[in-house]
Structure 1
């Protein structure tokens, strides 16, 4: 059983927004530290990978979908689909069961495709990460904590819907679950708080 785990996010969008870019950079850096691999799959032809992401040694861009990468009889049984509708929660024993962890339907087309249900219907085994929606980098972080560090989901310190305070008068509540850092704050990509504040300011400016 190889110890090197692979984390795949199916992107499906023709472009990469600034939020996703920061999340993917964080996934790539943390996966590199853990000795794993991070793949963006199903990338459209002509997709431009940001230079910073392309420089990350753990990162790989892939135009093939996961069905083509791991067909039946050639590794498909070792792929775990992180699926909110799965019957079983992800647990430390899954380290022995799976080599690849797949996050499907994070982004999508317009109208959106339910990529997770498509992959479920194609027979990929599923595991749940709990009932509260996570950001992409948080979902990969939690998966890695369970698989590599052998946490159970109930052992992980979470922060649900945290409020980000920018100053005495400005704050915003994030509609996601995060892992709590040693400083008691949600673990977020570097630069994400600044980006959120800028987006909030832009929205306010648009009102005038």
Structure 2
């Protein structure tokens, strides 16, 4: 069994759904890839047995990911004080100094809900110390990306450049607005998981077709 305490930073998504949608799989694969490149670990916890045996290849084959059926509470039972819950309802925002205080950063796997549901409350009840990432809703991979930039790259939240509610062109005549905040990439575009834009376009085109 891996000893997560040996890693400088571990990013944990407590998977709170019985299924794994395609968009979530792309987000998890992106988190795994970026965590691996940053010498950190990505842990997907509370994965139901039925799902654990049927994890999409894009997730299962990613470097830097560990899939656990145990809950975060069980895995880090002796390290509770080192776990930081990224919580939209927290009173204090994440800072670079939190990288010195915490080694484990916990996400509810539901930050991308629109409208947001307060399912992070299920983790809040466990008593983890919380931090927030600002007032605008983020996707799960964006939340992990921003946390890593703050605690590993030591960049304050307010210094990170964002793209809020970007509009994606579906085709010549239609576009769709994403109701989330994203990190702005070097090209000025929102940073999204590989394959996500195509997935959004396909879903949007299917939706438009059903309206015709």
Q: How far apart are the structure 1 equivalents of 2:135 and 2:20?
A: 27
The SS at the match of 1:46 is helix
1:147 aligns with 2:144: no
Match in the other structure for 2:130: 126
Aligned pair count? 203
Match in the other structure for 2:59: 53
**Over aligned residue pairs, what C-alpha RMSD do you find?**
1.9
Q: So what's the TM-score if we normalise by structure 2?
A: 0.90
Match in the other structure for 1:70: 76
**What is the CA-CA distance between 1:105 and the residue it aligns to?**
5.1
Q: How far apart are the structure 2 equivalents of 1:201 and 1:168?
A: 11
Structure 1 residues 75-84 or 161-170, which shifts more? 161-170
Counterparts of 1:53-202 in structure 2, within 5 Å, are: 53-71=59-77, 74-104=78-108, 106=110, 114-202=118-206
**What is the CA-CA distance between 1:207 and the residue it aligns to?**
2.2
**What is the CA-CA distance between 1:14 and the residue it aligns to?**
2.1
Q: How far apart are the structure 1 equivalents of 2:46 and 2:34?
A: 22
Structure 1 residues 41-50 or 30-39, which shifts more? 41-50
Structure 2 gaps, min length 5: none
Judged with a 3 Å threshold, the aligned counterparts in structure 2 of structure 1 residues 201 and 167 are, in CA distance, closer, same or farther, namely closer
Aligned match of 1:28 in 17, 27, 32?
32
**What is the CA-CA distance between 1:3 and the residue it aligns to?**
5.8
**What is the CA-CA distance between 1:179 and the residue it aligns to?**
0.4
Q: How far apart are the structure 2 equivalents of 1:135 and 1:27?
A: 11
Give 4+ residue runs of structure 1 displaced > 3 Å after superposition.
112-115
